[in-house]
Amino acid sequence: MSAQARLAILAAAVIALVAAFFIARGSEEDSGAPPATVTVTTPATGGQDGTTTTAGTRTATTPARTAPEIPVVRTRGGAPVGDVKTLKFKRGERIRFRVTSDVAEEVHVHGYDISRQVPAGGSVTLSFDGDIDGEFEVELHGSHRQIATIEVRP
């Protein structure tokens, strides 16, 4: 294999690794920043066979990620504001939602058996993997009121 071919393979590998890094480092907390641009410059080299490769520049751009909107379930006086919300997710997806309350309460997700405290006048964000199919009630334990239904489908 010629030095030029080896250099081309190395440059392509570097570009792929850098692009993979930027894609992998994205998270649910991303704020929709502009796309990341990575520029890799390869120097000119002399090959053992007397050939010379030319310097080059390659640019890879990864798309910007936007943070998914987190649904908010509002409660007042230990009851949902408006109707009981239905939150739909796909199996394997990260389930995230926020509960706001004017009174201190315990939020409980049946089926997943997850509970979190929400302070009076505050909010709490629940986040977990949606790895069980079905419909699950979300309730305020103190008032025994359903505030949401989580649907997890294949």
pLDDT single digits (tens) 58-112: 555 556 666 678 999 999 999 999 999 999 999 999 999 999 999 999 999 999 9
Which DSSP helix (H) or strand (E) runs through 21?
helix 3-25
151 vs 13, higher pLDDT: 151
Q: What is the mean pLDDT of residues 149-154?
A: 97
For residue 141, is pLDDT > 60?
yes
Q: Which residue has the tokens 């890799």?
A: 40
Give the least confident one: 16-30, 38-52, 134-148.
16-30
Question: Which residue would you say has higher pLDDT here, 132 or 37?
Answer: 132
3-class secondary-structure state, position 5: helix
Domains of the chain: 3-62 (no CATH), 72-153 (2.60.40.420)
Residues 132 and 154: their CA atoms lie apart, in Å, by: 9
Does the structure show a pLDDT above 60 at 29? no
Is the pLDDT at 47 greater than 90, yes or no?
no
Task: Tell me: pLDDT of 55 over 90.
Answer: no
Q: Is the dihedral of CA 113, 116, 117, 122 positive or negative?
A: negative
